[in-house]
Chain A
Amino acid sequence: MRSRNWLSGIVLGAGMVFAASAASAVTIGFSQVGDEGDWRPAFSKDMQDEAKKEGIDLKFADAQGKEENQLKAVRAFIAQRVDAIIIAPVVVTGWDQVLKEAKAANIPVFLADRDVDVADKSLYVTRISADFNLEGRLAGAWLAAASKGRCNIVELQGTTGSAPAIERKKGFESVIALFPDMKIVKSQSGDFTTDGGKKVMEAFIKATDGLKGICASFAHNDNMQLGAIQAMKEAGLHPGKDVLMVSVDYVPAMVTELKAGDANASVELRSAIGKYIYPVVLEYLKGKKDWPKWVKIPSDVHTAADVK
């Protein structure tokens, strides 16, 4: 009996020492959306790798695309008294309550990637993400230069109503509106998928008699553009030569197409964004409290010339 008490005392003591050593590092809870597509798993992996580099004790929670899992994860982070919480929100609504709980516990919340819709903006410190609108503008600016401001464009939209689809479209349109001879002549949703992009481009090819008079294809993501490239090749057209191909994401498969000359430009949506997110969090914890409500991660246009 006595020896067992001794033993539990040792275990308890060891536990306290372990807890103390963990507490010396910064502990951050990160609630991720899930692992859909190619981009998000790469984003998750980068967050974990960068955390190791920065010496951060990262508690990673995958919400598997469900807001209720995400709310549970955030409440668990609050209970564990982490130093800061990063949320990549599944949806924009329904955040007021849990963010108030975090504030009451004095734990700062940072948003990564998507936005939230809360009445009281002081419930989170800042949102750190790429600017979809800027990506659209960059694609439009590249195309305006490449086509000398004269271009009939077919557009492959992302999933109808999704934030990247809306903002990339708006950004792109705001730039081509500056050029009287640039206009979108066909626009349809390819649901961000290769299959969708291929089907839509097939229909465009038929509707425009082999893309006659079309100078460019703008796709809201690379996957749809990859499908469009296949559809054009199967119809005996030469993507990248007959028609300028510009899209957003810069996924590995698009790099291959840029090298082969089947695509002309892709705006990068960075997945390695831990190096933009953690410094904001760490500086805030050290005392820099005045951040704009949106810290934008810069975008970059890659062309065939870059990848050679």
Chain B
Amino acid sequence: MSREHTNSVGLTAYPRAVLVRLAEKRAVWPLLALALILVVDGFISPEFFSIRIVEGHLFGSLVDVVYRSMPTAVVALGMAVVIGTKGIDLSVGAVIAICGAMITWRLHMGDPPLIVLGAALAAALLCGLWNGLLVALLDIQPIVATLILMVSGRGIAQMINLLYGGTDPSFSSDFFAAISTGHLAMLPSRLFVGAGIFALLWLLMRRTAFGLFVEAVGGNAAAADLAGIDAKMIKLAAYLVSGLCAGLAGVVITADTHTSDPVSAGLYIELDAILAVVIGGGSLAGGRVYLGLTLLGALIIQSLTTSILMSGVPPEYNLVVKALVVLIVLLLQSHKFRARIRRSARPAGKHLP
């Protein structure tokens, strides 16, 4: 692979070399995909890039994309860490449902908002602990271990809702509205929550040994163990991180519509989160964690969703269109695919001046 690249760099003019080197930067292809989707959006709706101030905050489709991508992005960050350990967490959607039910239940019981927030995040951490124990201590395959909570979690959420009757699972709380749909310095407040989580995780992964340990465990758990890394503890910690991230997303999603909806809250978000990680260059084989690129992946997915909603495509085609675009993005990401395209394009390229 690398020989082919040095050849082309050596033989061609300087700008081409820059392009080739750029093409090998991981961020380029996701960025290109995002740019393409946004350009198409510009054609679909001329209003797409306009950002105005409405009721004292920024308002526009671009703001929507960032705003709406936040829950998926936060879940995807936690997922990136778990996938880094060669694991996977399918239960995040169910954790979101459980958090929603916890919030609604405790608010109905009249707890102060901070206590409610604490209870919801504690429930999420407990879910993470459960997954972590199954995976790390009992050595159950992650996909099976987290499937248990994925299937049972929504039932647990429904049972929590029964604790207060559950006939009217809505609530009103200024505190939770402020976290989710409120604004701070003209920007949606949830973006600050998301940025805070990102900063914390980035510090944890890149400024402490934890990130190195995660990638070591994901790359080769046995070798990491021999090198003196406690692989079990690292895995357990990863599922705790993922649980907490899902919990925060659950708080934001629940506060968004101020209602607990155990059946559909965060439905299929695990798939979007995994997709964000993969678009961001993460490998399901573990050993790699790219937090920034994962955010980019979440943005791509949301901009795609938003543009489908804006475009007027009949809803029957939504999922097919989404699948096609995702396929194209992943093909762009693939070294093998790009190499094949380059090889088939080369004979034609020679005739050009």
Give A contacts to B, CB under 8 Å.
35-38, 157, 160-161, 186-189, 191, 193-196, 198-200, 202-204, 206-207, 209, 226-227, 230, 234-236, 252-253
Contact = CB atoms under 8 A, between A and B. Distances in A.
Interface in B290-312: 305-306, 309-310, 312
B316 A161 contact: yes
Interface stretch (B22-30, B232-240, B257-265, B344-352): B257-265
A230 B54 contact: no
B47 A199 contact: no
Given A186-B312, A189-B318, A235-B59, A206 B257 contact: no
The 7 closest A-B pairs by CB, nearest first: A203-B309, A189-B315, A194-B257, A206-B61, A236-B55, A193-B264, A207-B310
Question: Which of A37, A188, A200 lies at the interface centre, i.e. has the most chain B CB atoms within 10 A of its CB?
Answer: A188
A235 B67 CA distance: 14
A195 B68 contact: no
A227 B309 contact: no
B181 A207 contact: no
Contacts of B272: none
Contact of A235 (B54, B158, B305): B54
Given A189-B315, A191-B264, A236-B55, A202 B168 contact: no
B264 A202 contact: no
B60 A198 contact: no
Contacts of A194: 257, 259, 261
B7 interface: no
B47 A187 contact: no
Contact of B256 (A160, A195, A200): A195
B181 A206 contact: no
Contacts of A198: 256-257
B168 A200 contact: no
B220 interface: no
Interface of B: 45, 47-48, 54-55, 59-61, 64, 68, 158, 167-168, 170, 181, 253, 256-257, 259, 261, 263-265, 305-306, 309-310, 312, 314-316, 318
Contacts of B253: 195
Given A194-B261, A226-B257, 15 more contacts: A37-B263, A38-B167, A187-B314, A187-B315, A193-B261, A193-B264, A194-B257, A195-B257, A203-B310, A206-B47, A206-B48, A206-B64, A207-B310, A230-B181, A234-B181
Nearest to B263: A36
29 contacts: A38-B167, A160-B315, A160-B318, A161-B316, A187-B315, A188-B309, A188-B315, A189-B315, A189-B318, A194-B257, A194-B259, A195-B261, A198-B257, A200-B309, A203-B61, A203-B309, A206-B45, A206-B61, A207-B45, A207-B47, A207-B309, A207-B310, A230-B257, A234-B181, A236-B54, A236-B55, A252-B167, A252-B168, A253-B168
A54 to B, nearest CB: 24
A195 B265 contact: yes
A230 B170 CA distance: 13
A252 B315 CA distance: 28
A80 to B, nearest CB: 28
B246 to A, nearest CB: 16
Contacts of A36: 263
B252 to A, nearest CB: 11
